[in-house]
Structure 1
């Protein structure tokens, strides 16, 4: 072991000691998925598999990428796909990135001009933070999660700076809490402060809303009819669409600007044609309306989960999306619940600090189009049973009350 390896091992040992070590795990076969972001169940879909194999068989392009988008990685195939995706989401233009992280970091590191201001929901994705950190923005100001009054308080301070652009960064469905942003209220605020749309711009991350919300799964922005009120949107393909990559939707000028300045796009080998083919097939299935019954099924099992679960007050996240969560106080507590459910045959994962703030640790539960009512009932019964076992030292405090945290 080299001296550097010894330093790295010492750092890892510190993380192990405080029970915050991260590990790669392989889910056992035969278990029931209540963890992945495969909200529509398309990763299991024979229909998507058949369309994908047929597309690969019929396409005249090679399978690999051969280079970055600006060198040899571009093609008529991807430009046609971007045009179709833009039409589907009712946007002027689209630009595909290798991942949602690349798309967000590329957008937020380049879009703000020197001295501009970014106001962001405190729970936005890490990729947004990465982009903001590298940006030329003079101020990066968080507001309390989905708190319109707090956002208004900050806007009151920055609106007088009329010569600066102000960007509001939010998600539609938040990845850890599962709640939906008050998007219409945010749009109304921007219209109040910038009635001529001269300096205030809304940027929306639809990563967890894609496929689940809106007609044919177009997202929350489409469901609310706010396409013209959002400057830029991000949709990922790696969750409900069972693919990989992401797309930025916006104006043709924004697309050209990102091609010229977004370093993750410029300096990365582009995704292979096989990935583009899978994205194309996923959108074909969305556009055909074949996923709408799955969206309806999701609503049913989400309601069933929330109606039948029995938890201490403040323990269940306030979410109407497929992302649900049981909040306990401390990494040890959430690991105990997750381990209990894993042994019962359910794939769920503990989300520990520092991924979420200390005191807000939770077992994250995702419901999917491939989950049945019977599976949901079985999961709920197991969770209820865990909390009914009053002699469980992880769950119960010395005062014999549930150790739980209200968000």
Structure 2
């Protein structure tokens, strides 16, 4: 039996290798970073690290382990104070910390929608949302990406309670959800909107829900800290009822060891540092403008730090990536099954620390490659 199972696993891996889509762990390369999610450079910012180090030196007790789930022994007054701080920053009633955005979405979508409910997912929504929905007894349906007419047709034909799942800034396309129109549509049909802000958080202030003052009109928002905030983890933002419900019914929260105090301290430090350095966002937008002014074909929004340049065909895409790496320019090749076959693309992440010269070198090469098609 064991040999048969291993043979099947080996066949699956071999099939992926033949298709050119086998995933492998790679050490981060030495060169120009056009692929990490460190949009504002906080993950490698020495001044940000020095602030955190000083805080930890004054509070060495923060380095202790959590020792258990937050409902047993793993909660602390400090973690609660940081959650209160986050809620105040986002002008919402409550915040609940999670070890990752993936876990936050598992918690939300596995417990809020009920058996007779329907979850309507944007077809390009993050895999963590999809996996959370798989743990729910609710019915799941997709709607065409950012297509309000298709979403409305789903809402009009669907009886019972509906939930709508979107990202504010889509991680593989780099385009934006029409949040205000989505809120209006949800309100018209009595649906509940949940927004994943992983790639907007920090880049656009405290996220697009916050900057558009929609906090009280969405059911819940997920903000993550491992991207522009340079830390790790996530928070679900919502009213008292939503957060209390997660604490009581969300298995990914209830049965997970709590995060230690240093985890919360790192997150608070990123907020404080970002407030002290608003210029970082301006620098990032300047770099994005430098890239978009080159006029490359892209799926992405003009102000997005994620710029996806289409290169259909796995072999061609990988050749482009490897050629760029030979010039010490590191990008990310997005292949199936992450995206559909035929929609392969080079995902370029822009950062406040990239230079205009580096960006021009990248765009010059990419333009030459597209011009030779």
Matched, 1:8 2:9: yes
SS at match of 2:120: strand
What CA distance in whole angstroms lies between the structure 2 residues aligned with 1:227 and 1:221? 6
Paired residues of 2:76 and 2:261 also in contact (CA < 8 A): no
Deviates more, 1:363-372 or 1:12-21: 12-21
Kindly report which structure 2 residues correspond to 1:346-357, keeping only aligned pairs within 5 A, or say none: 346-357=329-340
**Equivalent of 2:163, from 143, 162, 167?**
167
Matched, 1:319 2:301: yes
Partner of 2:344: 361
Kindly report which structure 2 residues correspond to 1:176-325, keeping only aligned pairs within 5 A, or say none: 176-193=172-189, 199-213=190-204, 217-286=205-274, 288-290=275-277, 292-309=278-295, 311=296, 315-320=297-302, 321-325=304-308
Partner of 2:85: 84
Provide the aligned C-alpha RMSD in A.
1.5
What CA distance in whole angstroms lies between the structure 2 residues aligned with 1:376 and 1:222? 30
Please state how far the C-alpha of 1:386 moved relative to its aligned partner: 3.0
**Aligned residues between the structures:** 369
| Runs of 4+ that moved beyond 6 A | none
TM-score (norm 1): 0.87
Paired residues of 1:344 and 1:382 also in contact (CA < 8 A): no
Structure 2 residues without counterparts, runs of 5 or longer = none
What CA distance in whole angstroms lies between the structure 1 residues aligned with 2:145 and 2:44? 34
TM-score (norm 2): 0.95
Kindly report which structure 2 residues correspond to 1:18-167, keeping only aligned pairs within 5 A, or say none: 18-29=19-30, 31-59=31-59, 60-137=61-138, 139-158=139-158, 161=159, 164-167=160-163
What CA distance in whole angstroms lies between the structure 1 residues aligned with 2:358 and 2:299? 20
Paired residues of 2:62 and 2:262 also in contact (CA < 8 A): no
SS at match of 1:119: strand
Please state how far the C-alpha of 1:165 moved relative to its aligned partner: 2.0
Paired residues of 2:306 and 2:349 also in contact (CA < 8 A): yes
What CA distance in whole angstroms lies between the structure 2 residues aligned with 1:62 and 1:334? 44
Structure 1 residues without counterparts, runs of 5 or longer = 194-198, 391-401, 403-407
SS at match of 2:62: coil
Please state how far the C-alpha of 1:289 moved relative to its aligned partner: 4.2
Paired residues of 1:334 and 1:362 also in contact (CA < 8 A): yes
Paired residues of 1:82 and 1:96 also in contact (CA < 8 A): yes
